């Protein structure tokens, strides 16, 4: 099934080891998930996991026969299904709590949610995706895992570079690529591949990387990654970037799990050997490339105008007094009738296409407040809470959008084994289902 031109290129690159590389295509691909540390450090008793992914905190391989994506814990945001090699770039970026972090090409959200988990709810994570539909998927995954200190944007790298010059402590560029490393996973990547696509991607990747570099503060860390084997898109892009930005260098990071880069494939500097390649015949994952870059200097990040808060609407204040425990620190913000709580330190958003401005609290209606699904998934308790076992009929009915019997009155947080799933509203012995229609099981 592999394109013969692709096979010829790989034989020329790999030589005697090419046979092992091609043999990996006859093996089942490896699948993994990451626990969401905001909600749980462990899930004892579930049979999903086999053993840890060695380069990613909270990452575990699982048996695909068990289909953990269908378990209610997935709906509750306790884990994210993610290809194991794709966990490497966020791990290499190594964000710290309290920092300003940018995931520039963020959809569908695997790396963003991994970064958010490492940040422990402190600092600001800006997640950007240029394609509107993919940005909606990204926003939904941020919501499902319950992260509040996130800002989801739908912008071009060029516009972001003008808005955030020298502002971020760390930047991740998981660049769109020819997808050679995903041939086992995605048939479309195999169908669409050509040498011309490789060259087009390499030119676009360099432009994206140069825009990303403008947004990193001196002394900050930038990780560039792809899911392709093509040297033009990997070592070649890094070599061209370093020529244009001599204030950047490849940072030495020890990692025993990954193979080194190949300077000789692009005629580049020897430091390219400090980049990383993830080969499907050498580890339990698909193909990936990553380079850890450092900007020279150690200066303070640039200052930007801060987001101006609005007074908290009385509709939410009244709702909160009756239904909620303490809320996180944040900046109240209205988009139309949608109320958000933006993370402290969020800059002014004027002129930016915003998909999610932090934690969505809910909608202002005439004289009342309707809580958002995202608020439910962030909460760990509420004044009224109903929790059911994962294998119960009640959980199944709730996820299908059905009503449930209850003695609760008013807004009620529905949970599975103590983990929040969404809202219901009790009256006259019935819990009306407020699980979003687009998420309901059929």
The one catalytic residue among 127, 177, 227, 408: 227
Could you tell me if 277 and 259 are in contact, meaning their C-beta atoms sit under 8 angstroms apart? yes
Residues in CB range of 401: below 8 A, 6 or more apart: 433, 435, 437, 440
As beta bridge partners, residue 126 has: 102, 151
Could you tell me if 431 and 405 are in contact, meaning their C-beta atoms sit under 8 angstroms apart? yes
The secondary structure of the chain in percent helix, strand, coil, rounded to multiples of 5, reads 35, 25, 40
Could you tell me if 406 and 432 are in contact, meaning their C-beta atoms sit under 8 angstroms apart? no
Give dist(CA 59, CA 149) in Å, integer: 22
Among all chains, which residue has been given the structure tokens 């944040």?
330
- Residues belonging to the chain: 442
As beta bridge partners, residue 422 has: 414
Q: Quick count: other Cβ atoms within 10 Å of Cβ 440? A: 13
Active site residue 227: yes
Could you tell me if 406 and 414 are in contact, meaning their C-beta atoms sit under 8 angstroms apart? no
Strands 124-128 and 100-103: parallel
Annotate 380-408 with b (16+ C-beta within 10 A) or e (fewer): eebebebbbeeeeebbeebbeeeebebeb
Among all chains, which residue has been given the structure tokens 């966020």?
90
Catalytic residue ranges: 227
């Amino acid at each position: 099934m592999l394109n013969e031109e692709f096979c010829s290129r790989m034989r020329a690159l790999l030589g005697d080891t090419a046979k092992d590389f091609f043999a990996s295509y006859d093996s089942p691909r490896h699948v993994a998930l990451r626990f969401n540390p905001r909600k749980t450090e462990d899930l004892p008793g579930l049979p999903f996991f086999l053993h840890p992914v060695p380069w990613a905190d909270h990452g575990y391989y699982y048996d695909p026969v068990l289909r953990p994506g269908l378990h209610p814990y997935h709906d509750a945001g306790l884990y994210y299904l993610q290809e194991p090699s794709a966990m490497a770039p966020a791990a290499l970026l190594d964000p710290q709590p309290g920092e300003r972090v940018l995931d520039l090409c963020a959809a569908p959200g695997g790396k963003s949610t991994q970064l958010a988990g490492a940040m422990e709810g402190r600092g600001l994570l800006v997640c950007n995706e240029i394609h509107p539909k993919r940005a909606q998927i990204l926003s939904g995954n941020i919501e499902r895992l319950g992260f509040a200190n996130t800002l989801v944007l739908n912008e071009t790298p060029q516009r972001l570079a003008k808005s955030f010059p020298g502002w971020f402590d760390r930047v991740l560029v998981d660049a769109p690529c020819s997808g050679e490393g995903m041939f086992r996973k995605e048939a479309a990547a195999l169908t669409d591949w050509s040498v011309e696509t490789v060259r087009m991607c390499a030119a676009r990747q360099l432009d994206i990387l140069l825009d990303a570099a403008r947004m990193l503060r001196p002394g900050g860390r930038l990780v560039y990654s792809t899911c392709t084997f093509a040297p033009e898109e990997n070592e070649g892009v890094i070599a061209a970037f370093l020529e244009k930005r001599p204030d950047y260098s490849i940072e030495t990071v020890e990692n025993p799990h990954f193979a080194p880069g190949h300077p000789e494939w692009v005629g580049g500097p020897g430091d390219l050997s400090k980049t990383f390649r993830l080969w499907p015949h050498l580890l339990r994952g698909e193909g990936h490339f990553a380079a850890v870059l450092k900007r020279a200097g150690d200066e303070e990040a640039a200052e930007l105008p801060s987001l101006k808060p609005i007074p908290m609407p009385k509709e939410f204040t009244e709702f909160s007094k009756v239904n909620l425990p303490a809320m996180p620190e944040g900046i109240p913000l209205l988009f139309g009738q949608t109320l958000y709580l933006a993370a402290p330190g969020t800059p002014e958003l004027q002129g930016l296409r915003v998909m999610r401005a932090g934690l969505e609290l809910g909608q202002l209606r005439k004289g009342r407040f309707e809580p958002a699904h995202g608020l439910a998934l962030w909460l760990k308790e509420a004044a009224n809470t109903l929790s059911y076992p994962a294998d119960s009929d009640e959980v199944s009915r709730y996820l299908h959008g059905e009503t449930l019997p209850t003695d609760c009155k008013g807004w009620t947080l529905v949970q599975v084994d103590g983990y929040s799933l969404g809202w219901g509203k009790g009256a006259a012995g019935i819990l009306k289902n407020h699980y979003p229609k687009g998420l309901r099981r059929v």
